Chain A
């Protein structure tokens, strides 16, 4: 007899696997985020690649690309359920927190895939020298977790409206601004060669942001989803 917890994990895994299968068959979000990232990167490398950019500018550019690429794809997990009218049967079949977490983990994997493609290209095209790889990876990991938790719940809210594109940007800006500012700061420190301890406040902030955002999202999601 499976325990309640393992049953809950099995259901979250089922939603996650369904999203992966569905995405690789439809390319609903993957194509848009990858194309956005590659086009932006190429444009950037042609326009500013010849200049000697400072580390703060390079860090900001990296997170601007990640932010807008994520905006173009991660919110789709809920929008597609509403647009294709599959949301009703999903609502009848699983608890809201199961659906949210399944889709959160899927978005996280999608963002990691984006980063696997984008970051090496960014390093090459903008001739970036990373002095502290460990710190860069930690900042990217925590920044991605925060970005995914915020984008997933915002996507759920936006999917219920008629003005999805506009509202997504308007809602995301104030929520994601602190995360982006600190992620840019942390990335700058990694490029400058700071150690983990030197970026302690950035790491603590990003970790706290993710925990608060994820907890609030799980609590708030049922109201949004069942509306």
Chain B
């Protein structure tokens, strides 16, 4: 059993308060949609959850089978797919996946990487530099990376951003598969995307 708990989370950027005193507890399997107007702090919240930003107040705790997971060991539990998350343009798609699979202790074999690439519909483009990819292809590659890591918590910021219809089907499949075993948290402005979620968390007024 994996549980993610936010206790009294608040964040300020200088004088500007983004949100304060957020409390939330999630246990797998589940899917949560975080909604709210622009600037309400959806992206900030996802980044706080995975440890990329420190909260101004409160804490995020992760427990596996009721044992607290130490902060420095939490990295492999999270996968993040977000528009502002960039992969290496000067590497090919395959090289990007190979590099991150080595860093994240993922199973590295050519077949495994190719399977993920095929799963997101990038077969035959795996040896192209990521700089030659369209925004939608880059988004698909981020999903391939999320699949590769087999992280228990999948954080999706604007999940269908830049994706075409086929890409959205791939995304839906991944969300479906992941929420059966782990925790999916998606931040979105598109209310259609909340259909994937069992819980909705609203930020802002």
Residues of A within 8 A of B (CB): 7, 10-11, 14-15, 18, 21-22, 25-26, 84-86, 88-95, 98, 226
Q: Give residues of chain B (104-142) contacting chain A, Cβ–Cβ below 8 Å.
A: 104-105
Number of A-B residue pairs having CB atoms within 8 Å of each other in the complex: 63
Q: Give residues of chain B (36-87) contacting chain A, Cβ–Cβ below 8 Å.
A: 47, 50-52, 54, 72, 75, 78-80, 84-87
B74's nearest neighbour on chain A, judged by CB, is: A92
Across the interface, do A94 and B91 meet the contact criterion of CB distance under 8 Å? no
- Chain A binder among B94-102, B177-185, B192-200: B94-102
Across the interface, do B89 and A93 meet the contact criterion of CB distance under 8 Å? no
Task: Report chain A residues within 8 Å CB of B79.
Answer: 92
Task: Provide 13 A-B residue pairs closer than 8 Å at the C-beta atoms, listed in order of the A residue.
Answer: A7-B105, A11-B103, A14-B99, A21-B91, A85-B85, A86-B87, A88-B85, A88-B86, A89-B86, A92-B50, A93-B100, A93-B104, A95-B75
Across the interface, do B103 and A86 meet the contact criterion of CB distance under 8 Å? no
Task: Report chain A residues within 8 Å CB of B104.
Answer: 93-94
Task: Report chain A residues within 8 Å CB of B145.
Answer: 89
Q: What size tier do the contact residues of chain B reach?
A: 20 to 34
Asked if B201 is at the interface of the complex by the 8 Å CB criterion, the answer is: no
B100's nearest neighbour on chain A, judged by CB, is: A93
B86's nearest neighbour on chain A, judged by CB, is: A85
A2's nearest neighbour on chain B, judged by CB, is: B105
B95's nearest neighbour on chain A, judged by CB, is: A21
B50's nearest neighbour on chain A, judged by CB, is: A92
Across the interface, do A93 and B90 meet the contact criterion of CB distance under 8 Å? no
Asked if B12 is at the interface of the complex by the 8 Å CB criterion, the answer is: no
Task: Report chain B residues within 8 Å CB of A95.
Answer: 72, 75
Task: Report chain A residues within 8 Å CB of B90.
Answer: 21-22, 25-26
Across the interface, do A18 and B75 meet the contact criterion of CB distance under 8 Å? no
Given contacts A21-B95, A22-B91, A88-B52, contact A14 B86 (CB under 8 A): no
A11: contacting residue among B78, B88, B102, CB under 8 A = B102
Bound CA–CA A15/B87 (angstroms): 14
